[in-house]
Amino acid sequence: MKEFLSNRIAATGLAMLMVVIAIALFAPWISPQNPYDLGKLDLMDSRLEPGGKYLLGTDGQGRDMLSAIFYGLRVSLLVGAASGVIALTLGGLLGVLAAYVGGRFESILMRIVDIQLGFPAILVALILIAVLGKGVDKIIFALVCVQWAYYARTARSAALVERGKEYMEAARGLGLSRTRIVLKHLLPNASPPLIVVGTVQVAHAIALEATLSFLGLGLPATEPSLGLLIANGYEYLLSGKYWISMYPGVALLLTILAINLVGDQLRDQLNPRLSRA
Amino acid sequence: MTVYVLRRLAQTLLVLFVTSGLVFGGLYLVGDPVEILVNPQADQEERARTAAALGLDKPVLEQYGLFLKGMFAGDLGKSFVFGRPALEVILERMPATLELAFLAMLMSVGLGIPLGLYAGLYPDRKTSKAIMAGSILGFSLPTFWVGLLLIMVFAVQLGWLPSTGRGPTENVFGFSISIFSVEGLRYAFLPSLNLALFKLSLIIRLTRAQVREQALLDYIRFARAKGLPRSRVIGVHLLKNILIPLVTVIGLELGSVIAFAIVTESIFAWPGMGKLVIDSIFQLDRPVVVAYLLVVVFMFIMINLVVDVLYSALDPRVRIAEAK
Amino acid sequence: MLEIENLVTEFATRDGIARAVNDVSFELKPKEILGVVGESGSGKSVLGYSMIGLVDPPGRVVSGSVRFEGRELIGLPEEEMRALRGKRIAMIFQDPMMTLNPVLSIETQMVETVFAHESFDRAKARKICLENLELVGIASPERRLKQYPHEFSGGMRQRVAIAIALLHRPALIIADEPTTALDVTVQGQILYEMQRLVRETGAALVWITHDLSVVAGFADSVAVMYAGRIVENGRTEDVLHSPRHPYTRSLLDSVPANNIGQVRLRQIPGMTPSLARLPAGCSFRERCGHADAQCSSMPEMKTSVRCHHPLC
């Protein structure tokens, strides 16, 4: 932790990330208005420039952009974090299991992983959403399907290294059960690389969800994430009303940047092979 | 080598088969294309007629069977919307996407490798730090948002370049290509730059990491000890070694650029396959979506194959291992 | 021909400044063979790099002088240094797996070395390469020239590296542990070949190694390095038979061939100190059996021995 904070850029990233998370958590309490309570919106106030009554201006329905961004951040982070946690659990377990069980199970699983990773994430997600339709649950499902393979591969290779080590022999010698060996010994040791992959993947997931929502294939309009906010502002962009699209984009950028900065530093720290010589 | 290629082709067929089944089945469950195609006031009879004309009145399994039969005959069905063979519609749009992807790869490789090389060779210089900071920013910027910014700055504010659409095309070997004229390039510049940015950052980071790793190896020191000029040590000894892993990545990224063109084409209203597939998804034009996926999957697998062949051409160690 | 005086090379590390070469001086006459002996981390490789101008950042030659054929090499412009490298001074390295570029053919790697210093036509350059491959004992050089490094065994690869080093008949060859990564039998062959080749081509040789026994039957003189310093140097017989520095003595005691069937091999206790955190005074004192209070201050220096204990 001390080493982490000694890197100024990484520390900034971490601070930014904390702020972003705090905003997402407390959005209903810190937002100037509830952007989805139609009764509170005043059409007379639509498309106001930033400054004045509304710090970041308003959108076509007179919605305060700052509040919309706070709420959008909430949805974006929720989708990113939820899909990340599920994919990590699923992929991590499958990967460790593959390394532990070996044989047919391992080779088939890894084949699937290889084939899936050969396809760009956006394509896989797009197909799934096209098939499944819109919705928070569906987009989380699609993102999990896209991401699990990265975790599975990482977990397997980490677990393969651990499997060869002496303490594993000792654990087996002690007659510990398989489940116990996998859960208590292999998984914890495979976690540092999983965490590193995890930070990168969560950033990817957030960007991907925003992209899909922007294309109109992600979340329904009732739960707008940052991507949908940007899409909504798109039509006003060409007429010079930049703020409706611009500020949600900045929020999205800062979120992803913060996660990437933290991830970069984690990778340098947790991976001795990559640490600067 | 032949065995290897054959095995890969068999795998291709399997993947194509699975993809088609998943997508076909999935799209069938999502919605009824007839609802979208016919006039909302149409009566039951007219709906039934439309459905029968499209072959949608048959059970889903039979539809899929007919589809598979057609697929192996090179017929991917007729587009509901265009009323023409889906494959034809896709192939018509393909040159537009490919020229975008080509320009984007050209930009990201042409800039990425030199910049990464520089940042790797002189890691402590200010310029290098700026390059790396730029690359992490490029890595974090969502593609579609950058597209909006590009339009806003270069098309709306400055008015230098057209914001949407494709320039005039000319016929080159039977393909309509727009990037051989200045006017066409003006249209293609912003979308391909947009598509290139993420890949550019990726290639910079990869090249730099490779340089940092390879430059410490003894063969570089030995090349210098032989008294070779620096240009040759870097341009031949170092570059050829870092190119090997880079070729793999660049090949994979080409596939990903084609997929990501979906986003860029939507923003810049570029009439490629990506824009087509998004429209088709909304219109539930199932044959086009399925045909697009099969075409793209096929392209990916071919790209992978080419990369593998190229890889062995670059690396003598692989060549020998296969000859044995 | 080669005179090194008070050479200091430092590296900036995370732990501070490490003096990899600390106040090193020696001389080398034409055709002389010098063995530089030291443990890993003693700075002997860096000494080699310093002589040929291949010290990379974060390292740099801080002070001192390297005079070669009457020219001062420290501070020489890079282009002039490059013209010397491979031409008048050649270097070969430890791991033959790593020194040849894996993706270029032997022909490319040899011919480019010829072209780096001469403007011959390609046919003549090839002919020189073939002659040199033959010289180092590579059979069917014509066929071998077209091959890639991975098609050679470790010993053969090192022969190729030596052939490249000899291409321009340099006056000085620096060999940085060229036999360490090889099988023992191959080691013997390469040693023998090297001896023959320097005699035939008239080159002087600096042979860097951690193995005293390699140097024993081979070098005219020996320099023993410890923690960046040369602690003792002199004629090979003198240093091996009557070492004057306790470190040299310990090294000799740890060589198996020196005491067959006699006493147990003696280890040198402890580890080589980190160059960035050397103890004050004599840097060997923490591992030395003879150390006393006097050693904590910088010991007085005799002509070639940096220790105040009269061992002989």
Q: Do B130 and B231 belong to one domain?
A: yes
The residue among A56 and A265 whose pLDDT is bigger is A265
Q: Which residues in B lie closer than 8 A to residue C113 (C-beta atoms)?
A: 226-228
What is the domain extent for residue B22?
14-71
**Whole-number Cα distances in Å, C67 to C54, C72, C118, C147:** 16, 4, 24, 39
Is the same domain home to B248 and B167?
A: yes
Q: Kindly state whether residues B174 and B307 are assigned to the same domain.
A: yes
Confidence of residue B110 (pLDDT cuts 50, 70, 90): very high
Average pLDDT over residues C288-292: 69
pLDDT digits (tens, 9 = 90+) for C10-28: 888 777 788 888 888 888 8
Residues B183 and B265 grouped into a single domain: yes
A 10 A CB-CB count for A30 gives 12
- With an 8 Å Cβ cutoff, are B320 and C86 in contact? no
Sequence-ordered strand ranges (E) for chain B: 170-172, 175-177
- Spatial contact of C233 and C225, defined as CB atoms under 8 Å apart: no
For residue B4, is it within any domain? no
Does residue B173 share a domain with residue B28? no
The amino acid present at C147, given as its one-letter code, is: Q
If you measure CA to CA, which chain B residue comes closest to A247?
Answer: B145
Do residues A133 and A220 touch, judged by C-beta distance below 8 A? Answer: no
Which domains does chain A carry? 17-29+55-272 (1.10.3720.10)
- Does B22 or A70 have the greater pLDDT score? A70
Chain A residues in contact with B252 by the CB 8 A cut-off are: 118
Confidence category of residue C126, pLDDT binned at 50, 70, 90: very high
Q: Are residues B144 and B279 in the same domain?
A: yes
Any bridge partners for residue B291, and if so which? none
How confident is the prediction for chain B on average, in pLDDT? 81
Q: Are B86 and B288 in contact (CB under 8 A)?
A: yes
Segment 107-146 of chain A within 8 Å of chain B by CB:
115, 118-120, 122-123, 126-128, 130-133
Same domain, B256 and B199: yes
In C214-260, DSSP assigns E strands to: 221-226, 229-235
CA distance readout (Å), C260 to C188, C241, C243, C255, C264: 20, 16, 19, 10, 9
For residue A123, give the nearest of B143, B259, B282 by CB distance: B259
Residue B223 sits in the same domain as residue B307: yes
- Which residues of B lie inside 8 Å of C (Cβ-Cβ)? 124, 217-219, 221-230, 232, 236-237, 240-241, 244, 314-317, 320
Residues B117, B243 share a domain: yes
The Cα B290–Cα B86 span in angstroms is 9
Which amino acid does the sequence have at B99? E
In a domain, B250, yes or no: yes
Closest Cα in chain C, distance from residue B143 (Å): 37
Confidence category of residue A276, pLDDT binned at 50, 70, 90? very low
Q: Is B79 inside any structural domain?
A: no
Number of domains in chain B: 2
Per-residue model confidence (pLDDT) at position A272: 46
DSSP C286: G
The pLDDT value recorded for residue C303 is 52
Distance CA C148, CA B317 (A): 8
- 3-state helix, strand, coil split of chain A in percent (to 5) is 75, 0, 20
For residue B114, pLDDT over 90 is answered with yes
Alpha carbon separation from C76 to A97, A131, C55, C81 (Å, rounded) = 61, 70, 13, 6
Most confident of A264-273, B67-76, B94-103, C35-44: B94-103
Residue that terminates a domain, selected from B40, B71, B102: B71
Residue B245 lies in a domain: yes
> B33 versus B100: which is more confidently predicted?
B100
Q: What is the pLDDT of residue A277?
A: 31
pLDDT per residue as tens digits for the range C46-67: 888 999 888 887 788 888 889 9
B144 contacts A214? CB cut-off 8 A: yes
Are C101 and B240 an interchain contact pair (Cβ–Cβ within 8 Å)?
A: yes
Q: Is the dihedral of CA A236, A239, A243, A245 positive or negative?
A: positive
Distances, alpha carbon A163 to alpha carbons A19, A99, A204, in Å:
39, 8, 30
Q: Give the residues across from C4 on adjacent strands.
A: C26, C66
Q: Would you call B218 and C148 a contact, using CB atoms and an 8 Å cutoff?
A: no
Q: Of the given ranges (A39-53, A194-208, B114-128, B218-232), which has the lowest mean pLDDT?
A: A39-53
Q: Is the CB of B228 less than 8 angstroms away from the CB of C112?
A: yes
Same domain, B63 and B94: no
Q: Whole-model pTM?
A: 0.79
Whether B2 maps to a domain, the answer reads no
Residues B161 and B283 in one domain: yes
Q: Give the chains touching C; criterion: ≥3 Cβ pairs < 8 Å.
A: B
DSSP C111: H
CATH number at residue B179: 1.10.3720.10
User: How far is Cα A188 from Cα B81, in angstroms, rounded to an integer?
Assistant: 53
Chain B: residue whose CA lies nearest to A259: B140
How far apart CA C309 and CA C291 sit, in angstroms, is 9
Tokens 């790209």 — which residue?
B303
Residue B181 lies in a domain: yes
What residues in C contact B239, CB-CB < 8 Å? none
Q: Using a CB-CB distance cutoff of 8 angstroms, which residues of chain A are in contact with residue B282?
A: 216
Would you say residue A15 has pLDDT above 80? yes
Of A8-12, B231-235, C62-66, C279-283, the least confident = C279-283
Assess whether pLDDT exceeds 60 at residue A66: yes
3-state helix, strand, coil in chain B (%, to 5): 75, 0, 20
Nearest-CA distance from A255 to chain B in Å? 9
Mean pLDDT of A216-232: 78
For B241, the token pair is: 């070694």
Residue C43 has pLDDT above 80, yes or no: yes
Q: Mutual orientation of helices A187-214 and A226-237 as an angle, nearest 10°?
A: 30
- Of A233-237, C103-107, C247-251, give the lowest mean pLDDT range: A233-237
Q: How sure is the predictor about B113, in pLDDT bands with cuts at 50, 70 and 90? A: very high
Query: Which distant-in-sequence residues (6+ apart) come within 8 Å of A154 by Cβ?
Result: A91, A95, A190, A193, A194, A197
Q: Are residues B319 and B268 located together in one domain of the fold?
A: yes
Q: What is the pLDDT of residues B116-144, one digit of tens each?
A: 999 988 888 889 889 988 888 888 888 88
The domains located in chain C, with CATH, are 2-88+168-244 (3.40.50.300)
- Output the pLDDT for position B104: 92
Q: What is the DSSP letter of B162?
A: -
Sorted by sequence, the CB contacts under 8 Å of residue C44 that are 6+ apart come out as: C36, C37, C38, C176, C208, C210, C225
Q: Is the pLDDT of residue C262 over 60?
A: no
The single residue listed with the structure tokens 């024993």 is C216
* The pLDDT value given to residue C127: 92
Contact assignment for B136 to A264 by CB distance below 8 Å = yes
- By Cβ distance, the residue of A115, A128, A215 closest to B263 is A215
CB contact under 8 A, B316 and C148: yes
B297 part of a folded domain: yes
In whole angstroms, give the CA distance from residue C35 to residue C233.
10
pLDDT over 80 at A40, yes or no: no
* Exposure b/e, B52-70, CB count within 10 A at least 16 = b: eebebeeeeeebbeebeeb
Distances B319 to A86, B312, C105, C156, C273 between C-alpha atoms, Å: 42, 5, 13, 21, 46
* pLDDT tens, residue by residue, B25-36: 776 666 666 666
Is residue B169 domain-resident?
A: yes
Distance CA B116, CA B110 (A): 11
- Which of the listed residues B31, B47, B71 is the one where a domain comes to its end? B71
Give the rounded percent of residues in chain C with a pLDDT score beyond 70. 87
CA distance B51 to chain A (A): 20
| Cβ within 8 Å, pair A253-B163 | no
B interface test, pick of A111, A131, A256, A261 with most B CB neighbours within 10 Å: A131
How many helices (H) and strands (E) would you count in chain C? 11, 10
CB-based contact B219 C100, cutoff 8 Å: yes
How many C-beta neighbours within 10 Å does residue A268 have? 17
Q: Is the pLDDT of residue C276 over 80?
A: no
Amino acid at B245: P
